[in-house]
């Protein structure tokens, strides 16, 4: 597969009135890369055949950064593997799941365990190639600064065209990093520890990332530190002694080795991240997200454990701390606007399958939990992360064969805040006829509305 195949598909689709959906890794939470909630005819462009990764090591003497060109159909695991094999002192700050496609991930911003040190994946994109609605192949200069801004966080699914490849700047990591996972049950003081974590985690040194997976009656603290265990322990003892971290909890390794260790478990190898099939893919799921800007009180956490996580159909909450580098970038620098002032992101997720019914109970838990959390999370707008896509936040309305900007604002301002308007203006520039669209694609802002 190459660029000419994608160009031909776009030209043919336009000529015959068939719209395209774009699949990178197939991880869109609502499946918008390969399905529609409306009755319509469309074709799927599966970019799995575009998956090369080309790493270029920089020259410190010439102050040239190390970069990689990565195709949209490559997975994060394939990108990480290529980087780690080229140098054990380089990394890329993107997500934890190695089977996620690069194209969709970068299009939504993309973050992982390096976010506090190095920010978003999209913050490190320096060039891209895109096939627009006319079938032209455009690079950064040809697409223009507004469209280049828009594709770095403006959402996957091809709102602005089909991004074929990305040039990303790589980041430096030490020869050894340290990971640990410590579970704390409610009986072991999970409520108090979690309550303190909200203030501590976003203010820790940028080299340290401590996330929490909250499920049933356990809060599991999962960390990555860019350094050795001996350097980590004094920080934890001083800043977060309640967690009780000691040498037996620590595992030192290279950054590349930490990728399978954190996501797949201690027995996984670096070769395992090249597997494009995730075991979770065999189940169905529903998810949504929130941003927390003020710490949630301990009595609320008690209620969450006692009531919401004790339900037989309960899912889990994943809490990712912000602060550090991600907070130091202006909200307008990319479409991703959740920066300064955010304590952490919350992902609510629930799964079903294997004879578990139609998921009605699991989806109800997500929606009920989301309603319960409303007083405790961000407001005006209630913020959400586009890579945790949720059609419950709103869907597009097509008027006169063009997506309505006013209807799009309902969900769009939750994902992008004030940046939604600029995204719609960029859409008007690159795809005024709204050829690339789905249930949550960016609508073109009509000239009269500008």
Confidence tier at 82 by pLDDT (50, 70, 90)? very high
Mean pLDDT of 167-171: 98
Mean pLDDT of 67-71: 99
Nearest to 271 by CA among 24, 123, 81: 81
Residue 61: alpha-carbon gap to chain centroid: 34
pLDDT at 276 over 90: no
- pLDDT score at 164: 98
- pLDDT score at 281: 61
This prediction has a pTM of 0.96
> Structural domain tally of the chain?
1
- pLDDT score at 277: 79
- pLDDT score at 39: 86
Is 19 within the bounds of a domain?
A: yes
Distance of alpha carbon 450 from alpha carbon 445, whole angstroms: 7
Between the alpha carbon of residue 236 and those of residues 90, 140, 180, the distances in Å are: 25, 43, 12
Which helix or strand (DSSP H or E) is residue 300 part of? helix 298-303
What are the tens digits of pLDDT across the range 17-38? Answer: 999 999 999 999 999 999 998 8
Is 75 within the bounds of a domain?
A: yes
Is 132 within the bounds of a domain?
A: yes
Mean pLDDT of 345-374: 93
Share of the chain above pLDDT 70, in %: 97
Is 82 within the bounds of a domain?
A: yes
Confidence tier at 279 by pLDDT (50, 70, 90)? low
Confidence tier at 283 by pLDDT (50, 70, 90)? confident
Is 431 within the bounds of a domain?
A: no
Is 348 within the bounds of a domain?
A: no
Confidence tier at 291 by pLDDT (50, 70, 90)? very high
- Looking at every residue in the chain, the average pLDDT score rounds to 96
Where in the sequence is the domain holding 61, given as residue range(s)? 3-172
Residue with the two structure tokens 């990178």: 24
Is 163 within the bounds of a domain?
A: yes
What are the tens digits of pLDDT across the range 298-311? Answer: 999 999 999 999 99
- pLDDT score at 63: 73
Output the domain CATH number for residue 103. 3.30.465.10
Is 119 within the bounds of a domain?
A: yes
Q: State both tokens at 137.
A: 């192949």
Distance of alpha carbon 391 from alpha carbon 366, whole angstroms: 13
């Amino acid at each position: 597969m190459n660029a000419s195949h994608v160009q031909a598909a776009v030209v043919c689709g336009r000529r015959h009135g068939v719209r395209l959906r774009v699949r990178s890794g197939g991880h869109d939470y609502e499946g918008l890369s390969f399905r529609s909630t409306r009755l319509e005819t469309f074709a799927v462009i599966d970019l799995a055949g575009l998956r090369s990764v080309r790493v270029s090591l920089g020259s410190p003497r010439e102050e040239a950064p190390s970069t990689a060109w990565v195709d949209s159909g490559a997975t994060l695991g394939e990108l990480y593997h290529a980087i780690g094999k080229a140098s054990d002192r380089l990394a890329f700050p993107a997500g934890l799941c190695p089977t996620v496609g690069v194209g969709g991930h970068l299009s939504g911003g993309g973050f992982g365990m390096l976010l506090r040190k190095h920010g978003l994946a999209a913050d490190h994109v320096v060039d891209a190639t895109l096939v627009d609605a006319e079938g032209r192949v455009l690079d950064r200069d040809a697409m223009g600064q507004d469209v280049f801004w828009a594709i770095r966080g403006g959402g996957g699914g091809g709102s602005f065209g089909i991004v074929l490849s990305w040039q990303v700047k790589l980041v430096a990591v030490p020869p050894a990093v340290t990971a640990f996972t410590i579970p704390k049950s409610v009986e072991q003081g999970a409520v108090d520890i979690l309550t303190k974590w909200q203030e501590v985690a976003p203010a820790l040194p940028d080299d340290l990332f401590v996330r929490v997976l909250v499920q049933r009656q356990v809060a599991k603290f999962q960390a990555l530190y860019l350094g050795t265990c001996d350097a980590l322990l004094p920080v934890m003892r001083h800043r977060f002694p309640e967690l009780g971290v000691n040498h037996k909890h620590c595992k030192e390794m290279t950054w590349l080795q930490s990728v399978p260790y954190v996501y797949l478990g201690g027995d996984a190898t670096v070769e395992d991240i090249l597997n494009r099939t995730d075991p979770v893919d065999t189940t169905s799921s529903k998810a949504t997200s929130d941003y927390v800007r003020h710490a949630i009180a301990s009595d609320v956490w008690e209620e969450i454990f006692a009531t919401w996580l004790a339900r037989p159909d309960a899912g889990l909450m994943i809490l990712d701390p912000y602060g550090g580098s991600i907070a130091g970038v202006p909200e307008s620098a990319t479409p991703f606007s959740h920066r300064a002032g955010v304590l952490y992101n919350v992902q609510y997720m629930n799964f079903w399958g294997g004879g578990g019914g139609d998921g009605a109970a699991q989806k109800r838990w997500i929606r009920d939990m989301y309603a319960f959390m409303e007083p405790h999370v961000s407001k005006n707008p209630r913020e959400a992360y586009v890579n945790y896509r949720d059609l419950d936040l709103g869907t597009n309305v097509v008027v006169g064969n063009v997506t309505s900007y006013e209807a799009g604002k309902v969900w769009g301002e939750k994902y992008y805040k004030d940046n939604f308007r600029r995204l719609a203006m960029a859409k008007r520039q690159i795809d005024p006829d709204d050829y690339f669209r789905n249930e949550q694609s960016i609508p073109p802002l009509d000239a009269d509305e500008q």
